[in-house]
Chains A and B, each alone.
Chain A
Amino acid sequence: MNGITGSTALWYASRATGVVSLLLLTAVVVLGVLVNRQGRVPGLPRFVVTGLHRSISLLAVAFLAVHVGTAIADPYVSIRLAAAVVPFVSAYEPFWLGLGAVSLDLIAALIVTSLVRAHISRRVWRGVHWLAYAAWPVALAHSIGSSTDMQRGLLLWVAVGCCIAVGAAVAWRVTQAARDVPRAERAAATFAQAAPRQRFRSQRSGRQHPAQQSSPLPPASPAGPSTDRLEEADLR
């Protein structure tokens, strides 16, 4: 193999950033799949998972920009700017580059809708965000199809690893969804989780107040004064 020279630098940069982008996108997808209101990743608070998901996706966008920019700038094969965004119009490898363009467009839609999330309806944002499940496999196919190095050796194992990571995350999410707690029971479920940890003694089981035994007051009743007093008065 030749070393990196002035004429091959862009080519190497494009390939390297492409691989890094794939790894970052895989991480984004895995974290996105794991962001679930109920399940939690052991040892990671939920806000860390969402925070990582957002930060890594912005990092992936930066690498993608370099990946696409260097591919266009590289004089070795001529790829026009249009071919990077419009699918299947490239003269070079139209199908595999076209998949890259599809993936790029989908990711652009995800990023734009997330940036304006406060101004659009939740349903629209969510609907567009489901496109992530299409963008990632398309990006993977683009990586394997347009890069001959990814079809064998170490990089093939990277591709396989990415597939396993996403597959495992999706499987975990699906099993979590099967154990979905009904909305009205969620807070109660958290109480149930909090109690057996025994981090804190509950008021009842803990040591009693010195005066509690001698308290002349009746035991606590769950309800306070009647809320319907006026209506009761009216009945008489």
Chain B
Amino acid sequence: MTYATATPNLGRTTVRPPIQPPPGGASGLPRLLPEHGAVPVDLPTHLGHHGRPPYRGQARLLIPLLEESGLTGRGGAAFPVSRKLTAVAAAGTRPIVIGNGAEGEPASDKDKSLLWISPHLVLDGLQLAAEAVGSSSVGLYVHRSPRLQDRLRAALAERAAAGIDQVPVELIDAPPRFLAGEESALASRASGGAALPRFKQPRVFERGVAGRPTLVQNVETLAHLALIARYGARWFRSLGTAEEPGSMLCTVHRADGTRNVVETALGTPLRNLLRLDDGAGGSGGAAPRASTAQAVLVGGYHGAWLPASLVAGMTLSNASLRPAGAFTGAGVLAALPADRCGIAETARVTRYLALESAGQCGPCFNGLPRIATVLDELAGSRPDRRALADVRRWAGLVEGRGACHHPDGTVRFVRSALQAFRAEIQLHEHGRCTAPGARPFLPLPAETATTDADWN
């Protein structure tokens, strides 16, 4: 074969023997988080479990292994990691690598938790990714939490003292904005500007921070990468499905009010993950309890509402969710209890999303507030008859017309609510509501941006 000569030896990457068996018990989980509770892993413990990062000594050598593993980005877009690395490595001139831990999604905790509990896996992944693309400029973009940042700074100092890191890592402060983690917003912030998204072209991996090709990977993706570099692609694929291998961190909001970060294999039945059977009142047809789920928000605030009965038959995978118009996204799963009003929840979140518009594109900052206002109307008693048609019309007018995906994601969320809560809207039209005046279920930050400086 002629093409084989072009890539000598790249297909067979040696995997160093692990110091200890790969993480995870009989179930193979958890991989990223320690087995016993949420006790943060310090450097000696980390080294005792996993050893030092297995550097390959040369750029690109890790990429075929990542391709074989089938690892995809865990920040929401599920883009194949090996393809992004290949593009950045091929772009040549002095690429930049940034770990993305901004996690602007209020309903998601997984990146904060991972950075807090297993920072060294993420930092190993950063170093290995930097080596793979031949980068000597590395950053970690994290939430503006002094405690988290102090801790990461201490971890970095400890690693520097132990001579683990090949490249120094700069911490970059992410403003508490919903869109701060968007790839181009990150590139703008890391270039010294405000965390504002821009048009998709040119792609960040072609021209990102300071105009240089930039690899942006979610922190969870980097942690998986650090494990794949040690234990290999076959180990990674031992969980999950053939198309969507491995595990992912999910922030699970169950109908009983609990909220947890759970690491779970892709392909896991959502019925188990969300405990959808709990409180269903058995099979005898007894009245459902308040903590029964009526609908599930899949994929966060740019995701989709699906009826609980539908979700009960689905698995945690895009293959299962996509036909229903949903995506795993960044792993947010929120089961709305029966004693809450889905339209009121959607109206609150949409208002928040509208206020989080970067104010750059007219369709977004003019359209989303109008959609939110009409949803508020729909959440009330006997809404104006034109309200439903107005939401649909405005949704169509803003879709696809922003520089970033914010209008599109918001429209997906709103449309799915109109579908999933059709019965609720009809109740409102008759002046009734499932849960009038119920306290809010979905989490929202107390504050949104009020000045342009809030984006810095």
Contacts and interface: CB of A to CB of B under 8 A. Distances in A.
Contacts of B450: 184-185, 188
A184 B38 CA distance: 37
B354 to A, nearest CB: 5
Interface of A: 37-38, 46-47, 118-119, 121-122, 182-188, 190-191, 194-195, 199-203, 206-212, 215, 217-225, 227-231, 233-234
B437 A215 contact: yes
A187 B431 contact: no
A46 B366 contact: yes
Interface string B364-392: 11101110111011011111100100000
Contacts, number: 157
Given A190-B369, A230-B112, A182 B436 contact: no
B166 interface: no
Nearest to B433: A209
A146 B365 CA distance: 47
Interface of B: 38, 40, 106, 109, 112-113, 116-117, 145, 147-148, 198-199, 201-202, 257, 259, 261, 344, 347, 351, 354-362, 364-366, 368-370, 372-374, 376-377, 379-384, 387, 397, 431-433, 436-446, 449-452, 454-455
Contacts of B387: 200
B417 to A, nearest CB: 15
29 contacts: A46-B362, A47-B397, A121-B202, A122-B199, A186-B365, A187-B357, A187-B359, A187-B364, A188-B355, A190-B354, A191-B373, A200-B384, A203-B344, A203-B347, A203-B379, A207-B380, A207-B382, A209-B381, A209-B433, A210-B431, A210-B432, A212-B437, A217-B437, A223-B444, A224-B106, A227-B112, A227-B445, A230-B38, A231-B147
Instruction: Identify the 9 closest CB pairs spanning chains A and B, nearest first.
Output: A224-B443, A209-B436, A200-B377, A183-B359, A203-B380, A186-B359, A190-B369, A215-B437, A186-B365
A202 B380 contact: yes
A219 B437 CA distance: 7
Contact of A209 (B261, B358, B437): B437
A227 B444 CA distance: 9
A187 B369 CA distance: 6
Given A201-B380, A208-B381, A183 B372 contact: no
Given A217-B439, A223-B445, A118 B455 contact: no
Contacts of A46: 362, 366
A211 B360 CA distance: 42
Contact of B451 (A182, A195, A221): A182
B56 to A, nearest CB: 33
Given A187-B354, A217-B437, 19 more contacts: A182-B452, A183-B360, A184-B450, A190-B365, A190-B366, A194-B370, A200-B373, A200-B376, A200-B387, A203-B376, A208-B436, A212-B436, A220-B437, A220-B440, A223-B446, A230-B112, A231-B112, A231-B116, A233-B38
Given A200-B387, A221-B440, A223-B446, A230 B451 contact: no
B421 to A, nearest CB: 15
A198 to B, nearest CB: 11
Nearest to A233: B38
Nearest to B451: A184
A185 to B, nearest CB: 7
B397 A207 contact: no
B381 A223 contact: no
Given A190-B369, A200-B373, A231 B202 contact: no
